[in-house]
Chains A and B, each alone.
Chain A
């Protein structure tokens, strides 16, 4: 497709369940980012991949959060043992190259996660 796609668009989980969120970046984009957007807030960085390498995971809030991009294209963000504070919109973005970092990040529509 022409843009970044994410699935599912909406996810409801019971507290304690594991969830997996998928991101399909723009074809050929080297860099992929995950952000978390809580209600009424701006997006907060979670993690960054350059191809299959996870170069920055400093934003992951706990060891319950795990992300992978095994073949350098599609990425999955997994949250184990979900808690209510995990409720947020999870945004994926991709950009063309690893460098320069002036590259524009293009965002997907997000996955809205609600933990009951």
Chain B
């Protein structure tokens, strides 16, 4: 069975500080991993994905994520947070071995960046 856990419902950081949003996953095979961001009353916006290769993935708006196979984690990071980064962040996984494209999402983490 495929599943995603985002252990923190909320993350609060001060502007300019580094931020981390945590994600762990469980898949029957090898994963494709994704991060999306959701602003109020808007759909999900793609940030980045891990397919293969370098474990550190760089994405939009200065975000990056590190794939750790041994810890089955894919934490989202940014070196210096902005107030405009405040939003709801979702981690998602897809089983590499499946021919179907469905994504499995975590419950989301609300990030608040204080000025």
Chain B: residues with CB nearer than 8 A to chain A?
4, 32, 34, 36, 41-46, 49, 51, 90, 92, 94, 96, 98-108
In the complex, which of the residues B34, B44, B96 contacts A91, with contact meaning CB atoms closer than 8 Å?
Answer: B44
A-B residue pairs in contact (CB < 8 Å), sample of 28: A4-B43, A31-B101, A33-B103, A40-B107, A41-B107, A42-B4, A42-B92, A42-B105, A43-B44, A48-B102, A91-B43, A93-B44, A95-B101, A99-B99, A101-B32, A101-B94, A101-B96, A101-B101, A102-B32, A102-B49, A102-B96, A104-B34, A104-B46, A105-B101, A107-B44, A107-B46, A109-B41, A110-B43
In the assembled complex, the Cα of A107 lies from the Cα of B44 at a distance in Å of 6
Which of A48, A107, A109 has the most chain B CB atoms closer than 10 A to its own CB?
A: A107
Number of contacting residues on A, CB 8 A? 29
Proximity bits, A72-116, B CB within 8 Å = 1, else 0? 000000000000000000010101000101111111111000000
Q: A33-B102, A45-B104, A105-B103 are in contact. List 8 more A-B contacts (CB 8 A).
A: A6-B43, A42-B92, A42-B107, A43-B105, A44-B105, A104-B49, A107-B43, A107-B44
Please determine whether A108 and B43 come into contact, CB atoms closer than 8 angstroms. yes
Whether A59 sits at the interface, judged by CB under 8 Å, is yes
Does A55 sit within 8 A of B, measured CB to CB?
A: yes
B residues in contact with A45, CB < 8 Å: 102-104
Name the residue on A nearest B94 (C-beta). Answer: A101
Q: Say whether B90 contacts A42, CB under 8 Å.
A: yes
Check if A56 is an interface residue, CB within 8 A of chain B.
Answer: yes
Within the complex, the shortest CB–CB distance from B48 to chain A, in Å, comes to 10
Residues of A within 8 A of B42 (CB): 109-110
Closest to B42 in A: A109
Interface residues of A in 37-75 (CB under 8 A from B): 40-45, 48, 55-56, 59
